[in-house]
Amino acid sequence: MELLMAIVIGILFMCATYLMLSKSILRIIIGTGLLSHGAHLLILTMGGLKGGSVPLLSNKAASYVDPLPQALILTAIVISFGVTSFLLVLAYRTYQELGTDDMEEMRGTKANE
Amino acid sequence: MSNLTFMPVLWPLFTGIFLIFFAKKIKLQRGISLFSSLIGIAISLYLVLTVHKQGILTLGVGSWDAPFGIVIVADMLSSLLVLTTNIIGFAILIYSFYSIGEERERHYYYPVFQFLLIGVNGAFLTGDLFNLFVFFEVMLMASYVLLVLGGTKIQLRESLKYIIVNVLSSSFFVIMVAYLYSVLGTLNMAHISQRIAEVNQPGIISVIAIGFLIVFGLKGAIFPLFQWLPGSYYAPPIPVMALFGALLTKVGIYSIFRTYTLLFYHDQDFTHTFLAVLAILTIIIGVIGAIAYWDVKKIIIYNIIIAVGVIIFGISVMNEQALSGSILYIIHDMLIKGALFLLVGIMIKISGTDDLRDMGGLIKQYPVLAWTFFIAAISLAGIPPFSGFAGKLLILQGAAESGAYFGMAVVLLSSLMVLYSVMKIFMNGFWGTSKIDYVLPNKTVNKMLVPAVLLVIISVLFGVGTESIYPFITQAVDTLMNPDIYIKAVLKE
């Protein structure tokens, strides 16, 4: 199971890297989304995927899955959620001000300032 | 009483939340921020003295003991850096009153300023790896807002690049935490260190060590990972630039300090040699940038990269002298970079340009500015009575002791080039004849000069009084050289 997850996460990272190296801002932001999905799935996988009950004490199971990675993922998800929404609004403002979504055109020339 | 350990984080948090309610009342905002900043300095000074007297202070948040809860650890290195952060925050805050402009002040400048301080102080004080990640994000989020606040074209463009780079490095941080958790099953730094010592750092841990170096190197701008810095730091207004230049990269360096002395110190032949090579390349790149430009802001920005290289080189040598040199140098560099950005900001405000070739003859009308800049410049290069000297001397001694002669030569030569780059500003900007009409001395310029002079005075005192500060540095180095002290203080065995 872990091997399968590792391969899937690898593919996510591959797609994210490819998208982040492209010219359009939106593609880059989609790339960052895929990258954080990959990172979150990786925490889950690295915490171990052995069977067990959901971490609720009322279940009274013999064994539970590790609760710590789930808390870490929850934290990381809301953080990347906040950053992504900021990034999207920033991209929108940049498009309004600079009139382009092409990273190649956002150079440090005098005309662009 | 043990809650003192966490006060440098809680105090700006309360202030920041409080300030949000009065966003439009600028006078009130300034008053409260100033008051809070003074209290912040007092708290962190008290923290330094307490740590000096009682040794490492730890606070298990919510009375859950380590390694199960989050632990806040104030050792000497952290508390000294927290004190420096608060002093710089205070100086830059005063400077902001006169230079940031009402439009920005009305749009939550001061609350975000406080949130940046929370992130930086928190990153210095935490004893938990994932908590460090969270404080990094607090700091970075505040820095995104400060960078883009105002919304000019250059700020929008450079913020995009800065945020994308940092999103990448944050994801990498999460990935590395995941790997480390799967190998060791803990997140508390002391506990991680203990467990690494038990397995004696196998290959996988060294790989993770290099992964963390990439993460913190992206934050701290070391050699192959510095390309985002010159553009991003060029964009924001001067006080924000000073805040970034003095604090943000130093948090990355502190994290390298922490991880490479506390966690990954068992395979030094591999990890620390790697670190040394990168440090030397960082210095070389920084030097090339610093002497290439005629733009005053760019010159100081590349000087940040040189200093990062020097400090990392000190860490890579990993003996007592070099580490105490690195600690002295990081404190000196935070103070003096803050001061230099503020001074350069005043030059740009007076002359209306940042190109050195258009300036000249400022010393006739602004002697105080000129001589303050001169003192700051020679402190930066490390001329003996001033603050940059002792740190570099100890780093060089440490390097000589462990036989790293090439690195030694590079550090020495880099000092020469640093001196050349800042003297270029001094000679072209302050001497000669003026080529443009300057703003004549007025009240605002004089008031802006106050915090810059304050920082330079503190750094001169820091240089002259190295002798009396040295016991504090020794205490910090003791903890770094003997991770057992740290582990015992946290895990209470």
If we measure between CA atoms, which residue out of A64, A47, A66 comes closest to residue B183?
A: A47
Q: How many CA atoms lie within 13 A of A59 on its CB side?
A: 10
Q: Which residue has the higher pLDDT, A14 or B101?
A: A14
Tell me: the pLDDT tens digits for B50-61?
999 999 999 988
| B157 interfaces chain A, CB cutoff of 8 Å | yes
**Residue B208 pLDDT more than 90?**
yes
Sequence-ordered list of residues with C-beta below 8 angstroms from that of B337, at least 6 positions apart, any chain: B242, B245, B246, B300, B303, B304, B307
Nearest C-alpha of chain A: how many angstroms from B171?
6
User: Residue A93 and residue B156: Cβ atoms within 8 Å?
Assistant: yes
Query: Which segments of B71-139 are extended strands (E)?
Result: 71-74
Sequence-ordered list of residues with C-beta below 8 angstroms from that of B66, at least 6 positions apart, any chain: B58, B60, B127, B188, B190, B191, B490, B491, B492
Mutation target vs B (from A2, A28, A68; most B CBs, 10 A cutoff): A68
Q: How far is residue A49's CA from residue A52's CA, in Å, rounded to a whole number?
A: 9
DSSP conformational letter for B227: T
Angle at which helix A67-98 crosses helix B153-184, to 10 degrees, equals 170
In chain A, the residue whose alpha carbon lies closest to the alpha carbon of B174 is A39
**Is-contact B113 B93, C-beta < 8 A?**
yes
Count of CB pairs separated by less than 8 Å, A with B: 100
Q: Which two tokens stand for residue B119?
A: 């992130």
Tell me: the pLDDT tens digits for B133-149?
999 999 999 999 999 99
Q: How much is the pLDDT for B66?
A: 78
Of residues B133, B156, B171, nearest to A90 (C-beta) = B156
Instruction: Read off the pLDDT band of B244 (50, 70, 90).
Output: very high
Q: Calculate mean pLDDT across residues A29-44.
A: 96
Q: How much is the pLDDT for A112?
A: 44
Q: Calculate mean pLDDT across residues B445-472.
A: 92
User: Residue B157 and residue A112: Cβ atoms within 8 Å?
Assistant: yes
| A87 interfaces chain B, CB cutoff of 8 Å | yes
Reduce the DSSP state of residue B71 to 3 states and report it. strand
Q: Which two tokens stand for residue B132?
A: 């460090």
Alpha-carbon radius of gyration of chain B: 21
DSSP conformational letter for B359: -
Domain that holds residue B241: 3-491
User: Which pairs count as long-range contacts for B287-290, CB under 8 Å and 24+ apart, including other chains?
Assistant: B287/B413, B287/B414, B287/B417, B287/B418, B289/B230, B290/B417, B290/B418, B290/B421
Pairing relationship of beta strands B71-74 and B57-60 according to DSSP bridges:
antiparallel
Q: How far is residue B274's CA from residue B55's CA, in Å, rounded to a whole number?
A: 32
What's the predicted TM-score (pTM) here?
0.95
Q: How far is residue B335's CA from residue B458's CA, in Å, rounded to a whole number?
A: 8
| B130 interfaces chain A, CB cutoff of 8 Å | yes
Q: How much is the pLDDT for B138?
A: 96
Q: Which residue has the higher pLDDT, B339 or A110?
A: B339
User: Residue A83 and residue B148: Cβ atoms within 8 Å?
Assistant: no
Q: How much is the pLDDT for B446?
A: 86
Q: Which two tokens stand for residue B60?
A: 């298990």
User: Residue B154 and residue A113: Cβ atoms within 8 Å?
Assistant: yes
Residue B154 CB neighbours (<10 A): 15
Angle at which helix B320-351 crosses helix B466-481, to 10 degrees, equals 120
Q: How many CA atoms lie within 13 A of B443 on its CB side?
A: 2
Domain count, chain B: 1
**ipTM of predicted assembly, 2 dp:** 0.95
Q: Calculate mean pLDDT across residues B218-244.
A: 92
Q: Match 């405000």 to its residue by tokens.
A: B349
User: Residue B160 and residue A80: Cβ atoms within 8 Å?
Assistant: no
Beta bridge partner(s), residue B59:
B72
Which chain B residues are closer than 8 Å to A79 by Cβ?
134, 137, 170
Reduce the DSSP state of residue B384 to 3 states and report it. coil
Q: How far is residue B95's CA from residue B99's CA, in Å, rounded to a whole number?
A: 6
